Structure 1
């Protein structure tokens, strides 16, 4: 008969070992099931939220008026609010910007691409990593959304001020 390594040296009975093992399995199985179920529901909720965000950010609208580079240089001073996001350079005259990457959270969703919202930029210059600069004259007090996908730049007007 084996002895345990505790101080009392009491024998461990075969039935007691089996009872401890069964109790451990019975306790761990429901906890594991609850944890896995919770993680799966969080992942599903995250995918649904990503789909809703993608739909909101890629909603169509009227196109922003494009401005030729020569016309921009003749009428406007250089843009001072410049930043890079997702390999794209953005410049604006006024307002605030909020950017996110779309497309990578869905399985098989393809390449991620940047979508940026601007509160009241007046003028926007967007330069993809391997492309020419595109300049948009949004107008003062107008909000805009810019999508850069596969090197193509798209700008849509979204209304006065605020994010939509």
Structure 2
């Protein structure tokens, strides 16, 4: 290569180095945050289900025969969550089966009945009126427990701020 051409390309070297440093720093910062958030969500999901009693279940026939009115639904990640009453709040939890696998964990204030649909089928639960519940969909299998930190009191506390 001629010396004139080399001088013209010389300015690109510091620029390429700066760009590489920028992306390395971004990957280090956000990658670390991702791993910490993943570990936190695994711990939160495990804590949500530890020791809590399972929700009573219904069959599809029992759910359809009851003709529940005013059903409300929300689709989140890998599932559809239908409830009769109350409020819902969903978060993404990390699955231990893979670094990027996630599933939904939804908390309900007082759902009365729940229908959860995932790729593996439909699940029906009857926590009851006024009973908080938490549903997770790890492995596309719905699990429901009679426990939740998400209640009407926490909603009112948020509104007061």
TM-score bucket (shorter structure) = 0.5 to 0.7
Give the length in aligned residue pairs: 148
Matched position secondary structure for 1:113: strand
Gaps of 5+ in 1: 1-13
What is the aligned partner in structure 2 of residue 47 from structure 1? 35
Matched position secondary structure for 2:121: coil
Cα distance change on mapping 1:50 and 1:131 into 2, 3 Å: same
User: TM (normalized to structure 2)?
Assistant: 0.65
Structure with the larger helix share: 2
In our comparison, the structure showing a higher alpha carbon Rg is 1
Q: Deviations over 1:129-148 (max 9, x none)?
A: 443532222441x4321012
Matched position secondary structure for 1:150: helix
Q: Structure 1 CA distance, aligned partners of 2:29 and 2:23?
A: 10
Gaps of 5+ in 2: 156-161
What is the aligned partner in structure 2 of residue 82 from structure 1? 73
User: TM (normalized to structure 1)?
Assistant: 0.64
> 79, 93, 96: which one pairs with 1:102?
93
Task: Note the 1:98-137 alignment, pairs <5 A.
Answer: 98-103=89-94, 108-109=98-99, 111-137=101-127
Aligned-residue RMSD, C-alpha: 3.6
